Structure 1
Amino acid sequence: MIDYEVYVDRLGGFIVENPGRVVALFFVLTLVFGAGLGNISTDSGTSQFTEDSPAQEALDDVNREFSPAFETSSGSTQLIQRDDNVLSKPAMLDMLRLQERVLSRPDLRATSASSVASTVAQTLDPSATTIDEQIGALESASPSEVRAAAKQATASPQVSSLLSDDFNRQSVEASATIGVVSHEVPGLSSSAGTSGTSPMTGIQEEIQTMTAVSNSDIRVFGSGIISGELGNVIADSLLLVVPAAVLLIFGFLVVAYRDPIDLLLGVVSLVIAVVWTFGFMGLANIAFSQMLIAVPPLLLAVGIDFGLHAVNRYREERVKDLAPVPSMRTTIKQLSVAFFIVTGTTVLGFLANATSDLAPIRDFGLVAAVGIIFTFLVFGVFLPAAKLYADELREKYNVPEFASEPLGSEGGMLARVLSGGVVIGRKAPRAFLVVILLTTVVAGAYGTGVDTTFSQEDFLPPEDQPAYLQQLPEPFKPGVYTVTKDLNYLEDNFESTQGDSVTIYVEGQLRQDSSLEMIHRNGEDPPESFVTDDRRAEATSIVTVIRNYAEQDPEFAALVDRNDANGNGVPDDNLETIYDELLSSPASDQASSYITEDYRQTRIVYTVEGDATQDAIVADGKLVAERLRMDATATGSTVVFKGVSDTILLSAIESLTVALAATALFLVVIYQVLEGQWTLGVVNLVPIVVSIALLAGTMRYLGIPLNALTATILSIAIGLGIDYSAHVVHRFADEYNAEGHDLDEALRLTVGGTGGALTGSMLTTTTGLGVLAIAITPVLGQFGVVTALSIFYSYLTALLVTPSAIVLWERLTQQDTATAAPTSP
């Protein structure tokens, strides 16, 4: 045990002797950090999570090796047309005319267009190769001729796959179809994730405006639209959440402070903490992402708690008729240590996320930890100085106080309500703790079944937004979001076109005679999630290219036949000659997208069912890869996202373990150093373990998964939750060590004094964080709910469980002391 009071007294002396200078210094530092605000950039979407993923690295290898098929300058726009019958003449003309308008605009960088309408037009007139000629062919044909041509064209599975599932072959009718426009745009990314910024965004938004002149309902869909919504949702969420949080928090603070000057000081302190944190992000070049939207509410949570405790503790001294300076000295002496304990454990909880393999989670942990340190400095140094300076000016200019009574003052109704935990601890601490232990075990075991997810939809607004959002005035009214609605529509109505794919990246000596036969046989007896065609997996590979070109070129077909021992169209001899001929033919571009120039790498793309689960797709992809007697790796966007999902779960477990271990060690050491009682650190940890178990069980019960943001909640629950129990335990230690205070008196004073500030803090922070539930994106809404729950559980366990834990601690330590004491002779 060290004499820490010397350092605390020095800090308190400096603050109370130089309050004006301290305030001025903090304002100067605010200007310095404020300079970094202009450097903040944004990063949204899912690509930020996939950058360091091993599966993404494998996909990048595929993209790099087979660049012709994965040209990063290539993009496409889907035109989703809905009509009474999209195969009618007027509807098909609408589609062709829109595609013609797009192709005629150089700024849209369109290179080609395809649709069922163009195929029907070419069926009417095989020489109609341009959009203009196809429009002419349709316009000159009679409705019966168009119907006959449509029936003939849609007999092809490739063409009918572009029609909705309600396509009727007999009546030649369908309610929806998909047209495609291809673009050549530099700077497009080929990663599995979707970025919040894309060169395709402006192009596809402009095409959407062009659909207004169409008679049919045509929606534009593509990566640009998705990227645009991912980018806009951050700004819209902030505009919606921040004002709501500010209003609610302000309302609670008015009730908690009950004095306009104290309220102003508290709000200014919160603003300084946020400005410092965001300024740090700009100076450190950390991009603002969806995850970091949660940082301001977290800072508000801790800042409000610190502010209420500081002002409340100061008021407790002032009601004793003490002058401002000695009152503030006592406040700083007691709370600076409690603030240090809370800050240390909270920072450790956030920094535990540095163990994550996902860069956005690491950035979140770092920014939140730095923000908490800033909050500690602002509310531990600036606010006491500003409060004292304001009270000196108040007395000098005879400004009246509006309210000076502390929350939860002795004898008040709130104090009597908060004493419930003390009563339980006095009457039946052991029985109560046994019940709590059983509850913790059951809730924790149940919570281990919580789901883990990662998908693009987590970051997109839901299809059905609350009606009140569209009733909000500008600029709070969010924009119109359609991506989720369009995704759901495509999935529900174009099952055949919405199947994902798994790419098998193969490395080996492909000149060996058995290589192509091995690739061909690998499609036999496919797993359930793979799309089948005649009991074979639907796939494209170098074998597909060889067969397709053999159908077009008789000379090449003869070469294949001469080297095909079993007559199945797959050569199994002189493969290098086959490759050489193929890569020097008109099919070379297609061939190079499936085999490298050194004939050592190839890829096989398997189509999977649209309704297959992510777990099934990944498992089946790995199974098919293992069948090959070459070095094969399953990859693709689904595999990448599943890899991120698994990493999220691992990160949650690792960060929770690290946070618990680091926090336990910190508490044990700090209480041994400060109080000479390391066991108080264990007492401090008990309510947190209980609250984490309750939180995990509640998440599973409410169906809230561990996703990119909620995965951090377990370590955050430690960081924020320890706040409540640390204030209770440290205040108890001070009161218990005070002369003349027994156990009951110390607990009564602790709960009566600290409990009031804790209640005010809980109400404001749960409301401020819970308001994230109205955020536009599901991931933010879920984070707001679970964070608010973690605060409430921490508050509840701090006031109900901690007193019983302290009583049991006192009995055990007193028993140990009595046992260790020497017996009188």
Structure 2
Amino acid sequence: MSGPVDYQRFVDAADDQIVNHPRRVVGAFLVLTLVFGAGLGAVSTDAGTAGFTQDVPAQVAFEEVQNEFETSAFATDTGSTQLIQRGENVLSKKGLVRMLEVQNRVEDHDELRVTSTASAATIVATTLDPEARTTEQQIRAVERATPREIDRAVQTAADRNPRFVGLLSNDFNRGSAAAGATIGVVTHEVPAGLSASAGQGGTSPLTPLQLRTDYVVDSVGGDIIVFGSGIISAEFSNVIFDSLIIVVPAAVLFILLFLIISYRDLADLMLGMVALAMALIWTFGFMGLAGIPFNQILITIPPLLLAVGIDFGIHAVNRYREERVTGLDIGPAMRVTTDQLLVAFFIVTGTTVIGFSANLTSALPPIRDFGIVAAVGIVFTFLIFGVFLPAAKVLLDRSRQKYPIPTFSTTPLGAEGSRLGRALSGGVFIAKRTPAVFLVVALVASGGMAYHATGVDTTFSNEDFLPPEENPDYLMALPEPFKPSEYSVTALTNFLSEKFESSQSDTVTVYVEGPLQQDQALEVLYRAGDDPPDALVQQNGRADATSVVSVIDDYAARDEEFRELVARNDRNGNGVPDDDLPAVYDALLAEDSPVRGQALRYITEDRRSTRLVYSVKADATQGEITEDARSVAADMERPRTSLVAIATGSTVVFEAISGLILDSAVTSLIIALTGTAVFLLFVYWVLEGKPSMGVANLIPIVVTVSFVAGSMRVFGISFNAFTATILAITIGLGIDYSVHVTHRFADEYRERELYEALDRTVRGTGGALAGSMLTTVFGIGVLVLSVFPAIGQFGILTGLSVIYAFVSSLLVLPSALVVWARLFGGGGGLASDEPSTGPTPEDVSATGGDVSAGEAG
């Protein structure tokens, strides 16, 4: 293979601008900051699970069901708000009147667009007085009744109206006519298509209506709570804001602390903070200009950018200081720094972008958005810390020569002879003695962790996006504006699940398309419910289902003419017509048919689509429900009927997304590893003429990814909407550490013997890596403060990935480089065989560093 490519002219061009025209460079970057800053106001929020359900096949079927059976193209849709009432006895006169008063107050507000209200109190009132049509009349009926009359009305309603019991909590006692909780329902008129998504969140037309309803209910006073999808959507957005306002300042505080330790100079510290702020402004401004909405996963972007930016900043300043302490002037020292670090930063940026961009292969839009924003943000960070920061540093230090700007420290971290430098040399000690054995042990241990990781679970549910039922005390102790809101969604969701479980049954839908007028079509649908799988509720050995067959049964039971029509076309006498179905449908869907509206909820006007809604067991898992629903759907797909059946519904959609999350994690990992390997082979061929060095560079990343994946199972953390990106992110962040070590080693190895080059690499670069690691771990670790538990898990995993990457780069990589040198690298002092393409410190010193004085000052 040919020798290294001459890339130095590109680096020299950047050097010239940074060293000789720093004012021009700084000015251009500040102008760009203003441009991107203009996009900050355009950043929108897209919270919740709705964004994840887009384009999923089960979701497409779910939308078709909603559009064909729930709404029409030009009609209005309805959305509901729940009124949750809790008390000692919600069926007492006081409790009933309280609910009816709230219903009456809500109905009086036209802006709420209420079409109807219903509750257990409504049923009791109409049982007391069947002529009580309005809510005001129902209030009077209850107020006039004696407690005994109310008790009898409650018992009568429970006996005659199954829906009445369904509105009451599990502790309902018929004998004492008492219950501890009940649910009322307010129906609003909203634009068509409201329920077209299986997920929650995003922007909902119900949000303003339900927030206003909550205000109206509060004005009445009492113990009734407003709940619904609009409230959930609003809380999703609040949680994002609350998480950011806690996480970002906490990250800045930790980062500030470690930057003080790393820089030990006020002016350098301020310069680093300005560069970090610019990276965030550019990235979020880009989101606004590109129209990318902010979702929960993107909460991780600020800590990630801060982590990489900190690393770049510490390396740049530390490397510059290493040259300055040797006696080089500002210009020459910065030339040596940028000659090395621009190349290292480019390698880090390329591999990090590959790692993050691997998420673009995901089928889930929010994860793809994360990949785009993270990749673009890393490129911005490279430009700011690779070009702007060095230019600003040149301006700063030249200004120090003219003005009394205080200087506190110019000593680099991990200098030779320092305690930190000695502590970081453990990997070199091992590499000098048993590098091959240690490398084999590290790879075997990594293989064991990777095998252990095959048992990691995959989940996706609304609960992943909900805040905890109660915020931790340490968060509630924070002062305003950092103190998070008190959230009700999780507590109310758990309350409803606990108190109303027996009266609420989950369902799954099978959507069927095909020639439904063919003989046997309904028979096929009906027989699919015979001997149902375990997850479906059974009645008399059949699945408990509601479908067009149910409507036919109901209509036949009360209309003799229709009953005779069904009987004439029922060959086997099971009540399901299997002949002359067009005539059956014509009678069922006739304009004057009393069940036309009900039938159209289960079969379309063109008789080409239908749905069957199956009740599922409360204790069945998401996976079991989906598998069994798909099994029933498969039974309907008979060649002779040409029917196509798809299992759908929220449970099936979420299970499908769980599978996509795992696919996304595995696919992005494979692409990130493959892309990174190819990139490193190419880069080290270009830079050093030795592509095999890229393999050595990749070994610590393989170790890191294996240990991160294995740790997920150790700590009981599943792949979910947030952690699905962690493996690709581990590559993106972890490669940073190994690239800096490998690239510095390549520079040192040109002029020095193997172990001396390795020792100088670890002592010099290792100090900057240690500062970067501590800052990054604590900076990203603040994600555990997020009110999203899933984001906290992401923070833990990302912090672990950085620690593993740091340790493997300083402990495993030296042995890998020694083995590489013995196999491919030749003898030490490579400069004698292959001259460096870049200038040495002596070359720069001889030229004086400054080519022109145009803007040097």
Q: Please report the TM-score for the alignment, with normalisation by the length of structure 2.
A: 0.92
Please state if 1:27 is matched with 2:33: no
Give the counterpart of 1:146 among 145, 150, 153: 150
Deviation string 1:97-126 (CA, Å, 9 cap, x unpaired) is 212221222111111122222222222233
**1:815 offset after TM fit, Å?**
7.8
1:766–1:788 CA contact under 8 A, matched in 2: yes
2:71–2:77 CA contact under 8 A, matched in 1: no
User: Counterpart in 2 of 1:15?
Assistant: 18
User: Counterpart in 2 of 1:811?
Assistant: 822
Give the counterpart of 1:478 among 474, 484, 497: 484
User: Counterpart in 1 of 2:774?
Assistant: 763
1:128–1:137 CA contact under 8 A, matched in 2: yes
User: Counterpart in 2 of 1:592?
Assistant: 600
| Partner-residue secondary structure (3-state), 2:812 | helix
1:69–1:590 CA contact under 8 A, matched in 2: no
**1:567 offset after TM fit, Å?**
5.0
Please give the alpha-carbon distance, in whole angstroms, between the structure 1 residues aligned to 2:204 and 2:672: 37
Give the counterpart of 2:513 among 504, 507, 522: 507
Please give the alpha-carbon distance, in whole angstroms, between the structure 1 residues aligned to 2:405 and 2:223: 67
Deviation string 1:632-676 (CA, Å, 9 cap, x unpaired) is 111111111111111111111111001100100111111111112
Question: Structure 1 residues 151, 524: closer, same or farther in 2, change over 3 A?
Answer: farther
Please give the alpha-carbon distance, in whole angstroms, between the structure 2 residues aligned to 1:69 and 1:469: 47
Please give the alpha-carbon distance, in whole angstroms, between the structure 1 residues aligned to 2:301 and 2:259: 20
**1:399 offset after TM fit, Å?**
2.8
| Partner-residue secondary structure (3-state), 1:707 | coil
Identity of aligned residues (%): 58
**1:216 offset after TM fit, Å?**
5.5
Question: Structure 1 residues 213, 340: closer, same or farther in 2, change over 3 A?
Answer: closer
Stretch deviating more after TM superposition (468-477 or 378-387): 468-477
Please state if 1:58 is matched with 2:68: no
| Partner-residue secondary structure (3-state), 2:89 | coil
User: Counterpart in 2 of 1:5?
Assistant: 8
**1:726 offset after TM fit, Å?**
0.4
2:697–2:739 CA contact under 8 A, matched in 1: yes
Residue 93 of structure 1 aligns to which amino acid in structure 2?
V
User: Counterpart in 2 of 1:729?
Assistant: 742
1:72–1:189 CA contact under 8 A, matched in 2: no
Give the counterpart of 1:171 among 156, 173, 176: 176
Give the counterpart of 1:185 among 172, 190, 207: 190
Please give the alpha-carbon distance, in whole angstroms, between the structure 2 residues aligned to 1:104 and 1:399: 69
Please give the alpha-carbon distance, in whole angstroms, between the structure 2 residues aligned to 1:361 and 1:24: 35
**1:457 offset after TM fit, Å?**
1.5
User: Counterpart in 1 of 2:705?
Assistant: 692
**1:92 offset after TM fit, Å?**
2.0
Question: Structure 1 residues 646, 798: closer, same or farther in 2, change over 3 A?
Answer: same
Question: Structure 1 residues 328, 719: closer, same or farther in 2, change over 3 A?
Answer: same
Unaligned runs of 5+ in 2: 829-857
User: Counterpart in 1 of 2:128?
Assistant: 124
1:68–1:592 CA contact under 8 A, matched in 2: no
Equivalences for residues 630-641 of structure 1 within 5 A: 630-641=643-654
Residue 125 of structure 2 aligns to which amino acid in structure 1?
A
Please give the alpha-carbon distance, in whole angstroms, between the structure 1 residues aligned to 2:266 and 2:501: 61
User: Counterpart in 2 of 1:646?
Assistant: 659
User: Counterpart in 1 of 2:753?
Assistant: 742
Please give the alpha-carbon distance, in whole angstroms, between the structure 2 residues aligned to 1:29 and 1:216: 55
Residue 37 of structure 2 aligns to which amino acid in structure 1?
G
1:38–1:282 CA contact under 8 A, matched in 2: yes
**1:473 offset after TM fit, Å?**
2.0
Give the counterpart of 1:627 among 627, 631, 635: 635
Deviation string 1:364-396 (CA, Å, 9 cap, x unpaired) is 111111111111111111111110110000011
1:68–1:590 CA contact under 8 A, matched in 2: no
Give the counterpart of 2:808 among 792, 797, 819: 797
Please give the alpha-carbon distance, in whole angstroms, between the structure 2 residues aligned to 1:220 and 1:609: 28
Residue 245 of structure 1 aligns to which amino acid in structure 2?
A
1:511–1:575 CA contact under 8 A, matched in 2: yes
Please give the alpha-carbon distance, in whole angstroms, between the structure 2 residues aligned to 1:321 and 1:36: 44
Please give the alpha-carbon distance, in whole angstroms, between the structure 2 residues aligned to 1:4 and 1:815: 23
**1:790 offset after TM fit, Å?**
0.9
Unaligned runs of 5+ in 1: 818-825
Q: Please report the TM-score for the alignment, with normalisation by the length of structure 1.
A: 0.95
Question: Structure 1 residues 416, 7: closer, same or farther in 2, change over 3 A?
Answer: same
Deviation string 1:732-753 (CA, Å, 9 cap, x unpaired) is 1111112xx2112111111111
User: Counterpart in 1 of 2:163?
Assistant: 158
Residue 374 of structure 2 aligns to which amino acid in structure 1?
A
User: Counterpart in 2 of 1:603?
Assistant: 611
Please give the alpha-carbon distance, in whole angstroms, between the structure 1 residues aligned to 2:429 and 2:504: 61
Please state if 1:614 is matched with 2:625: no
1:72–1:190 CA contact under 8 A, matched in 2: no
2:58–2:646 CA contact under 8 A, matched in 1: no
Aligned alpha-carbon RMSD (Å):
2.0
| Partner-residue secondary structure (3-state), 1:77 | strand
Question: Structure 1 residues 134, 706: closer, same or farther in 2, change over 3 A?
Answer: same
User: Counterpart in 2 of 1:107?
Assistant: 111
User: Counterpart in 1 of 2:313?
Assistant: 307
Question: Structure 1 residues 633, 417: closer, same or farther in 2, change over 3 A?
Answer: same
Please state if 1:137 is matched with 2:137: no
Residue 73 of structure 1 aligns to which amino acid in structure 2?
D
Deviation string 1:525-546 (CA, Å, 9 cap, x unpaired) is 2222222334332221112222
Please give the alpha-carbon distance, in whole angstroms, between the structure 2 residues aligned to 1:544 and 1:681: 66
Stretch deviating more after TM superposition (112-121 or 808-817): 808-817
Please give the alpha-carbon distance, in whole angstroms, between the structure 2 residues aligned to 1:109 and 1:402: 67
1:82–1:216 CA contact under 8 A, matched in 2: no
Equivalences for residues 504-583 of structure 1 within 5 A: 504-565=510-571, 568-583=574-589
Give the counterpart of 1:320 among 305, 326, 342: 326
Equivalences for residues 154-303 of structure 1 within 5 A: 154-155=158-159, 156-186=161-191, 188-212=194-218, 217-303=223-309
Question: Structure 1 residues 375, 814: closer, same or farther in 2, change over 3 A?
Answer: closer
1:94–1:215 CA contact under 8 A, matched in 2: no
User: Counterpart in 2 of 1:823?
Assistant: none
| Partner-residue secondary structure (3-state), 2:117 | strand
Give the counterpart of 2:763 among 743, 752, 765: 752
Please give the alpha-carbon distance, in whole angstroms, between the structure 1 residues aligned to 2:539 and 2:479: 54
Stretch deviating more after TM superposition (358-367 or 254-263): 358-367
Stretch deviating more after TM superposition (773-782 or 754-763): 773-782
Please give the alpha-carbon distance, in whole angstroms, between the structure 1 residues aligned to 2:315 and 2:405: 23
User: Counterpart in 2 of 1:821?
Assistant: none
**1:469 offset after TM fit, Å?**
2.1
User: Counterpart in 2 of 1:97?
Assistant: 101
User: Counterpart in 2 of 1:822?
Assistant: none
Please give the alpha-carbon distance, in whole angstroms, between the structure 1 residues aligned to 2:535 and 2:89: 32
Residue 792 of structure 2 aligns to which amino acid in structure 1?
G
User: Counterpart in 1 of 2:848?
Assistant: none
2:821–2:827 CA contact under 8 A, matched in 1: no
Stretch deviating more after TM superposition (419-428 or 722-731): 419-428
Please give the alpha-carbon distance, in whole angstroms, between the structure 1 residues aligned to 2:34 and 2:363: 35
| Partner-residue secondary structure (3-state), 1:693 | helix
Give the counterpart of 1:672 among 677, 685, 690: 685
1:19–1:389 CA contact under 8 A, matched in 2: yes
1:81–1:216 CA contact under 8 A, matched in 2: no
Please give the alpha-carbon distance, in whole angstroms, between the structure 2 residues aligned to 1:249 and 1:497: 52
**1:730 offset after TM fit, Å?**
0.7
1:68–1:589 CA contact under 8 A, matched in 2: no
Please give the alpha-carbon distance, in whole angstroms, between the structure 2 residues aligned to 1:378 and 1:213: 53
Please give the alpha-carbon distance, in whole angstroms, between the structure 2 residues aligned to 1:27 and 1:85: 65
Please state if 1:81 is matched with 2:85: yes
Deviation string 1:592-642 (CA, Å, 9 cap, x unpaired) is 111111212111011212332110110011011112233211111111111
User: Counterpart in 1 of 2:842?
Assistant: none
**1:558 offset after TM fit, Å?**
4.4
Deviation string 1:33-65 (CA, Å, 9 cap, x unpaired) is 222222222211111111111111111221222
User: Counterpart in 1 of 2:721?
Assistant: 708
